[in-house]
């Protein structure tokens, strides 16, 4: 009896295509919620450092004076805590995985817009100097 | 008395996916004593609780195990919620139940594949893992992660599932149930499988109780221990019975796991039928002050998270007792008196997860 059951499965498998994908020639199946990697729109970042505080692995480093945002991809565990906390929604979760990295090549640094309120103050300071 | 020799089994062995080391003391071909050693993959995750905020630690609690990850985060979060007196919404409880049953399905299918592969039954391995892929796809579509879901948080869950998706999930499971039935009946009724498993590695009911066996290892020996019956999450509103087998041998433990998959599908179906509408999280303020033992049923058995906080953001103590750790004394008892060739099969029937056991 079991023999016939197995034969049924075998015959089914013969006529069905393979269950595996030819990755990476064909891209992996991804859904809207899939967590691939974090990306930033630098023009939206106000250097509030919420993402840096919430990151459980300390992968994000925000320099307020330098107006820079840096992520260490070797440390990032793609938990999406930074994306959830970002007040300006400039951090987004991409669905595809990042390409493999070496231990030294994981850091990405972006120059960001910085806080919005300070811009008029900076121009005010610049005027008297002229 | 013939000469005794010691054969090291593991930490690197073809049937073991994880590093467990057993020193087998043999007389001829019979195992007369076993000395287990663990400690090859200790990561010190419990100590990290002092360095991370209690809300961030959920991500670390989830990474204790790579298979039952969701249930670890759920147990930890339940403990914190109990200390802080947080009432989570009912929809959250149902969602947690659905995801925990999904991880049980995924774990049992993974085990079935590995076990069949360990015995040389390759086609069951391939078919089990093909079915498991559907479960992982559903997990990814609803949580964002295949294995590390990252969906639990203190005070609720981070993602909601729409009604259409829930119906789709049940429809998918119903379609899968037939394939699963074919697969498990081929596996359980195969004469060579029965010959290999029946009457081997027998653990009596009294021994199972005394040595503290949990999960399918205990239920295979006739002990009806299932922490889901205590009614955590939404299990108190779900009608189910734990699967119990009475023979106590390798076959009984396999049968328990095979039948539990159908119970899980049934639980998910009931949850989807009963799930209420509403919010999925509540706002959490303050920090835990107190201690709590949080228990849950993992695919491998009962897991206990002991959590102690002192009113600050960082907890003072976190201790996890995982099911594999408790199942090692019964394993030693099972192996005494068996033949050397049966050792791999017996070790795999307790479904060892050493990454879990050592944290």
- Give domain B43-341's CATH architecture: Orthogonal Bundle (1.10)
Backbone dihedral angles phi then psi of residue A76, each to the nearest 5 degrees: -60, 130
Tell me, what CATH number does A54's domain have?
A: 3.30.70.3270
- Smallest CA-to-CA distance from B252 within B301, B226, B219, B205 is with B219
Widest pairwise Cα distance in chain A: 95
Q: Residue range B330-348: average pLDDT? A: 88
CB contact under 8 A, A93 and B144: yes
* Alpha-carbon gap: A111 to the closest alpha carbon of chain B (Å): 27
Residue A126 in domain:
no
Q: For B14-58, give the DSSP string.
A: TTBSS--EEEEEEETTEEEEEEEE--SS---TTGGGGTSBTTTHH
Q: What's the complex ipTM?
A: 0.74
Which of B127, B150, B191 is nearest residue A9 as measured by Cβ atoms? B127
pLDDT top residue among B183 and A4: B183
CB contact under 8 A, B137 and A35: no
pLDDT digit string, tens, across residues A31-78: 888 888 888 888 888 888 888 888 888 888 888 888 888 888 888 888
Residue A78 in domain:
yes
- Work out how many CB contacts closer than 8 A connect A with B: 54
User: Which residues of chain B approach chain A closer than 8 Å at the C-beta?
Assistant: 52, 56-57, 59-60, 63, 123, 127, 130, 133, 137, 140-145, 148, 150, 158-159, 182-183, 185-186, 189-191
Contacts of B133 in chain A (CB under 8 A): 19
Q: How far apart are CA B322 and CA B325, in angstroms?
A: 6
Closest residue in B to A20 (Cα–Cα) = B130
pLDDT of residue A125: 47
Return the residue in B48, B59, B193 with the most chain A beta carbons within 10 A, the one to mutate for interface testing: B59
CB contact under 8 A, A35 and B144: yes
pLDDT of residue A43: 84
Residue A40 in domain:
yes
Contacts of A54 in chain B (CB under 8 A): 56
Q: Residue range B109-122: average pLDDT? A: 87
Q: Which pTM was predicted?
A: 0.86
Q: Say how many C-beta atoms besides its own lie within 10 A of residue B239's C-beta.
A: 8
* Alpha-carbon gap: A56 to the closest alpha carbon of chain B (Å): 6
CB-CB contact of B329 with B211 (8 Å)? yes
Is the pLDDT at A89 greater than 90, yes or no?
Answer: no
Mean pLDDT, chain A, rounded, equals 79
pLDDT of residue B352: 85
Number of domains in chain A: 1
Binning pLDDT at 50, 70 and 90, where does residue B43 land? confident
Q: How far apart are CA B244 and CA B219, in angstroms?
A: 5
For chain A, give the percent of residues with pLDDT over 90: 0
Residue intervals in chain B for CATH 1.10.645.10: 43-341
CB contact under 8 A, B189 and A8: no
Residue A8 in domain:
no
Contacts of A2 in chain B (CB under 8 A): 185-186, 189-191
Strand partners for B290: B309
Residue A77 in domain:
yes
Please name the helix (run of DSSP H) or strand (run of DSSP E) that holds residue B358, with its range, or none: helix B354-358
pLDDT of residue B97: 92
Binning pLDDT at 50, 70 and 90, where does residue B256 land? very high
Q: How far apart are CA B69 and CA A79, in angstroms?
A: 13
Backbone dihedral angles phi then psi of residue B53, each to the nearest 5 degrees: -65, 150
CB-CB contact of B242 with B218 (8 Å)? no
Q: Can you give the residue range of the structural domain that contains A53?
A: 33-114
Residue A74 in domain:
yes
Quick one: CA dihedral B231, B235, B236, B240, positive or negative? negative
Residue A14 in domain:
no
Binning pLDDT at 50, 70 and 90, where does residue A3 land? low
Return the minimum-mean-pLDDT range out of A30-39, A106-115, B26-35, B136-145: A106-115
Place of tokens 């949580």: B143
Return the minimum-mean-pLDDT range out of A121-130, B135-144, B230-239: A121-130
pLDDT of residue A129: 45
pLDDT of residue B94: 92
Is the pLDDT at B192 greater than 80, yes or no?
Answer: yes
Is the pLDDT at B30 greater than 70, yes or no?
Answer: yes
* Alpha-carbon gap: A118 to the closest alpha carbon of chain B (Å): 31
CB contact under 8 A, B150 and A31: no
Q: Give Cβ neighbours of residue B335 (< 8 Å, ≥ 6 apart).
A: B22, B24, B31, B34, B201, B343, B346, B347
Please name the helix (run of DSSP H) or strand (run of DSSP E) that holds residue B305, with its range, or none: strand B301-310
Q: Say how many C-beta atoms besides its own lie within 10 A of residue B186's C-beta.
A: 21
């Amino acid at each position: 009896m079991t023999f016939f059951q197995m034969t049924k499965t075998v015959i089914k498998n013969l006529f069905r295509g393979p269950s595996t994908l030819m990755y990476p020639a064909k891209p992996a199946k991804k859904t809207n919620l899939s967590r691939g990697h974090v990306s930033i729109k630098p023009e939206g970042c106000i250097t509030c450092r919420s993402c840096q505080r919430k990151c459980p692995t300390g992968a994000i480093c925000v320099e307020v004076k330098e107006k820079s945002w840096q992520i260490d991809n070797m440390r990032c565990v793609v938990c999406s805590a930074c994306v959830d906390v970002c007040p300006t929604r400039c951090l987004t979760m991409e669905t595809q995985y990042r390409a493999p990295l070496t231990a030294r090549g994981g850091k990405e640094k972006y120059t960001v817009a910085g806080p919005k309120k300070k811009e008029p103050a900076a121009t005010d300071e610049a005027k008297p100097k002229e | 008395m013939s000469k005794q020799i010691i054969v090291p089994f593991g930490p690197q062995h073809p049937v073991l996916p994880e590093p467990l080391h057993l020193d087998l003391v043999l007389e001829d071909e019979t195992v007369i004593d076993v000395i287990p050693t663990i400690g090859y993959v200790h990561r010190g995750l419990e100590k990290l609780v002092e360095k991370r905020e209690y809300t961030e630690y959920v991500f670390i609690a989830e990474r204790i195990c790579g298979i039952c990850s969701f249930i670890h985060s759920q147990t930890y979060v339940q403990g914190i919620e109990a200390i802080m007196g947080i009432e989570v919404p009912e929809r959250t409880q149902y969602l947690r139940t659905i995801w925990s049953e999904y991880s049980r399905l995924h774990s049992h299918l993974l085990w079935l594949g590995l076990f069949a592969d360990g015995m040389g039954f390759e086609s069951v391995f391939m078919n089990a893992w093909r079915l498991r892929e559907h479960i992982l796809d559903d997990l990814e579509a609803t949580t964002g992660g295949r294995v590390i879901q990252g969906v639990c948080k203190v005070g609720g869950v981070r993602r909601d599932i729409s009604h259409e998706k829930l119906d789709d999930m049940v429809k998918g499971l119903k379609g899968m149930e037939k394939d699963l039935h074919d697969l498990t009946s081929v596996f359980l009724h195969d004469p060579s499988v029965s010959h290999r498993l029946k009457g081997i590695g027998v653990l009596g009911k009294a021994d199972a109780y005394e040595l503290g066996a949990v999960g399918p290892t205990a239920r295979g020996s006739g002990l009806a221990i299932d922490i889901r019956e205590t009614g955590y999450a939404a299990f108190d509103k779900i009608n189910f019975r734990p699967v119990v087998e009475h023979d106590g041998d390798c076959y009984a433990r396999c049968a328990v796991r095979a039948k539990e998959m159908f119970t899980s599908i049934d639980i998910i179906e009931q949850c989807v039928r009963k799930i209420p509408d509403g919010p999925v999280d509540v706002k959490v303020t303050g920090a835990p002050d107190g201690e709590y033992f949080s228990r849950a049923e993992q695919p491998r058995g009962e897991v206990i998270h002991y959590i102690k906080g002192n009113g600050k953001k960082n907890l003072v103590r976190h201790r996890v007792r995982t099911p594999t750790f408790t199942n090692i004394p019964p394993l030693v008892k099972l192996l005494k008196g068996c033949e050397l060739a049966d050792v791999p099969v017996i070790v795999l029937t307790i479904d060892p997860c050493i990454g879990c056991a050592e944290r």
